[in-house]
Chains A and B, each alone.
Chain A
Amino acid sequence: MAVGTKIIARGFQPFTQLVLLIAAQHYLENAQHIPTALLHQAQMGDTSAMQLLYQQYSKAMFNICIRMTGNHADAEDVLQEAFVQAFTNLRQLNNVQAFGGWLKRIVVNACIKHSKKNVYWQEWEDETHEMLLANEEEAWWLQIDLALVHQQIKALPNGCRQVFNLFVLENYSHKDIAGLLGISEGTSKSQYHRAKQLLKQNIMQQLQHHG
């Protein structure tokens, strides 16, 4: 009986695989079409489509904002501004597949605008950071909970926090950061080094306090 079942199962295997493959393809096609259709609807001014897009992207975008601004209220303001800007200019987006990247750019730009308005930049060029960066210490971050890292990034002081986020998480070069924030490249590098040092120091302190 068991042998017979195995034989039948083996005979049906290619068929089952084919069915599964078709189902998967259908699912993937739908998965690709849902955002596209949503975007087209949003471009026509459909609020429910906009809401779905917001629900899909707001968390990731909000976390960019909160890491850049350092506090919840400002992050919400920037997020709101960015989404309004994005929805207002949605018709200008020709390639709907690029919506995520396009939205992220709007959000990051809104954060930079906020930073430029609220952060007083002190030119601080320290050449020792090059040397310190070259002698990279051990990977202390590997055992740290990422939620704690996120929390401590938010707690970094103004200036170095923005540089750290733009450099580490948004993958901007120091040259780009300097241009965007209106500071020198050397200041950007120094601020990044300072942020890294502070981040390590604060996380270690937290671990000591709370075990």
Chain B
Amino acid sequence: MDKLQQYLQHHAEELDVDVPTPEVWQQIQQRMASPQKPLARIRRLPQVLRYAAAACVLGFAVVGAWHVWQTAQPSALAVNHHLVPGKAAPKPTATIAEKTQTHPTPTPQLTETALAGVKKMAATPRKQPAASHAVTVLQSINQSFTQVINLQRARVNTMPLLAENPSYFADFKVAFAQMDNDEKVIKKEIAQAGTLTNDLLDRLITVYQQKLAMLKQLQNEINKTNSRYKQGRPTAENATTYFLNI
């Protein structure tokens, strides 16, 4: 502590020579009396009620989680059944057994002969249902990816090209068309096979991912050229603007 500090701290009260005007208290009083800021009385819940509330919240959380798990389980089974043909056979049996258990009917339980019959049915190659499953899965994947791709495509198509004309980005267009062809070929192969194998699925997803990556790259490229163009000019009003149609 230096000497000045010591001296001023020692005489701190003598430094207090200013006085606030009476309006300050009036304003404080007004603010304290205003209904927006009343003196909040802190009401505390009794301990038991707090625990009860916590238990209720926990209960709801558990029920919610159970519900989500229950709804997610059949779809997971279905996906496994559709996507892994090798493991498809035992699943229908399990599903049938579950259904029989959850909906008790006057009919007797599954006997040994009935079970054997179901196994036999599952083991026998059934082209028609497998094909229909493959189509369903394919449609679902196709729909999901197409939505995202179209979104990205629309974004690229609405971006103004300030620096370059569309022919500058022709390579991207060619590559995109090539990917479209690849997609068609894979879909044809799936249709011929009648089932959606892991390999075909992987190939299809790869094509979709490539499409998305390429669109993103195109977007970055347009941004880059536009910003480079804008850097040299304070306003881009006189620039000829083009749009892509990919």
Residues of A within 8 A of B (CB): 45, 47, 50-51, 54, 58-60, 62-63, 66-67, 72, 75-76, 79-80, 83-84, 87-88, 90-91, 133, 136, 139, 141-142, 146-147, 149-150, 153, 167-169, 171, 196
Contact = CB atoms under 8 A, between A and B. Distances in A.
Contacts of B23: 76
Contacts of B28: 50, 54, 80, 83-84, 87
Interface in B9-30: 9, 11-21, 23-25, 27-29
Nearest to A63: B16
A168 B11 CA distance: 11
Interface of A, secondary structure class, is: helix
Nearest to B12: A169
A173 to B, nearest CB: 11
Given A133-B2, A141-B4, A168-B5, A54 B25 contact: yes
B96 interface: no
Interface stretch (B31-39, B68-76, B209-217): B31-39
Given A58-B24, A169-B8, A147 B17 contact: yes
Contact of A76 (B11, B20, B29, B40): B20
B7 interface: yes
Nearest to A133: B2
Given A50-B32, A63-B18, A147-B17, 13 more contacts: A47-B32, A59-B18, A62-B18, A62-B19, A62-B24, A63-B15, A87-B28, A141-B8, A146-B11, A146-B17, A147-B15, A169-B12, A196-B4
Interface of B: 2-5, 7-9, 11-21, 23-25, 27-29, 31-33, 37, 39-42
Interface of B, secondary structure class, is: helix
Contact of A168 (B8, B14, B37): B8
Nearest to B23: A76
A66 B18 CA distance: 8
Contacts of B32: 47, 50, 84, 87-88
A66 B11 CA distance: 17
A147 B19 CA distance: 13
B11 to A, nearest CB: 6
A11 to B, nearest CB: 43
B29 A136 contact: no
A133 B32 CA distance: 47
A104 B23 CA distance: 21
A150 B17 contact: yes
Given A47-B29, A50-B32, A146-B15, A169 B24 contact: no
A141 B37 CA distance: 46
A58 B25 contact: yes
A167 B5 contact: yes
Contacts of B40: 88, 91
Residue in A66, A67, A80, A169 with the greatest tally of chain B CB atoms within 10 Å: A80
A79 B24 contact: yes
A60 B25 contact: no
A156 to B, nearest CB: 13
A150 B15 contact: yes
Contact of A141 (B7, B18, B33, B42): B7
Given A84-B28, A196-B4, A59 B20 contact: yes
B18 A72 contact: yes
Nearest to A76: B24
**Top 7 closest A-B pairs, CB basis?**
A63-B16, A62-B20, A146-B14, A45-B39, A150-B15, A168-B5, A83-B28
Contacts of B8: 141, 149, 168-169
Contact of A80 (B24, B41, B42): B24
Contacts of A50: 28-29, 32
Nearest to A196: B4
Contacts of B29: 47, 50-51
B19 A59 contact: yes
Contacts of A45: 39
B99 to A, nearest CB: 61
A149 B5 contact: no
